[in-house]
Amino acid sequence: MKRIAILGAESSGKSTLCEALARRHGTVWVPEYLREFVDTMGRVPFEGDQFGIARTQRAREDAAALQARGYLFCDTTPLMTALYSRVYWGRVDAQLTELARSHDYALTLVTATDTPWTPDGLQRESEEVRELVHRMVLAELQERGIPYLLVSGDLPQRILQVENALAAL
């Protein structure tokens, strides 16, 4: 079983892509816990919530890995939580830094920001923040030496790009 990380800024199609790929491969996917957190709590996270959100995301990923067949598609990783900590609080606490350091995925995908930005009332801030985060994701992956595939276009185009990358694994 290979874990596939799907990273990207808000409203860039991560969840849609994860769900479609899991369905296509007859496996499970790990939804973004942050979305559930915001819906359940009725608010965006505070700085002190960040490590718990990332830890829960990773725990759900580990649990889903027991059910996955072939691939496990992960809608975000602790790395994204760490990036958002930098955006909103200008720092990342030590526990989150350590958790985000373990980026052990067979393939890392980044969703381009060529999809329409859609506000959702709580979690999504603006198209400008989306572009800032997108640039930060690419810079962070380059800085860490993590290879990635930038997927773009509509969903069928993105799936084709991912299928070609999976075939090369």
Q: What is the pLDDT of residues 21-74, one digit of tens each?
A: 999 999 999 999 998 998 899 888 999 999 999 999 999 999 999 999 999 999
What pLDDT shows up at residue 162? 98
What pLDDT shows up at residue 35? 86
CA angle 143, 140, 56 (to 5 degrees): 130
DSSP 28: -
Q: Which long-range contacts (CB under 8 A, 24 or more apart) does 95-101 make?
A: 95/51, 96/50, 96/51, 96/54, 99/51, 99/54, 99/55, 99/58, 100/54
Q: Which long-range contacts (CB under 8 A, 24 or more apart) does 126-129 make?
A: 129/9, 129/10, 129/87
> Across residues 125-154, what is the average pLDDT?
92
What pLDDT shows up at residue 128? 85
What pLDDT shows up at residue 127? 80
Q: H or E stretch including 156?
A: helix 155-167
**Do 47 and 88 touch, CB atoms closer than 8 A?**
yes
- How far apart CA 119 and CA 116 sit, in angstroms, is 10
List, in order, residues 6 or more apart from 33 with CB less than 8 Å away.
53, 56, 57, 60
**Do 33 and 78 touch, CB atoms closer than 8 A?**
no
pTM (predicted TM-score): 0.92
Is the pLDDT at 8 greater than 60, yes or no? yes
What pLDDT shows up at residue 59? 97
Q: What is the pLDDT of residues 75-133, one digit of tens each?
A: 999 999 999 999 889 999 999 999 999 888 999 999 999 987 776 655 556 788 889 99
